[in-house]
Amino acid sequence: MDQSVAEQVYDIVARHGGIERGKLTPESTLTDLGIDSLEAIETIFDVEEHFNITFPNRDPNLDEGTLSGLIDSVEQGLALRASAEPAT
């Protein structure tokens, strides 16, 4: 069964931060989770690579954003990618 976008993002963040997945909530920020800004950037790159998307506007304070916001950004990126792909 396919994992939801949220589950996949949580898995990536948990792996990068060495955090138990159960400690992640939609309101968690990377900073709250003890992920420093360099690791946050690497986490965002991994999220982009995993979903084959590019976030159009990289927020310099992305480590202050919530996981819910990150998931929303991924879903928007996936929607943009889908709308740009030719119909088969």
Which residue type, as a one-letter code, is found at position 52?
N
- Angstrom distance (rounded) from CA 53 to CA 71: 12
**pTM value > 0.75:** yes
- Count CB neighbours of 84 within 10 A: 7
Question: What's the CATH number where 54 sits?
Answer: 1.10.1200.10
Range of the domain at 71: 5-80
Domains contained in the chain, number: 1
87: in domain = no
Query: 51 in a domain, yes or no?
Result: yes
- What per-residue confidence (pLDDT) applies to 10? 96
Residue 61 is predicted with a pLDDT of 54
Higher pLDDT, 86 or 23: 23
Query: Which residues make Cβ contacts (< 8 Å) with residue 35, sequence separation at least 6?
Result: 13, 16, 17, 43, 63
Evaluate if residue 46 carries a pLDDT over 90: yes
Judge whether 86 lies within some domain.
no
- pLDDT of 20 over the 80 cut: yes
Radius of gyration of the chain (CA): 13
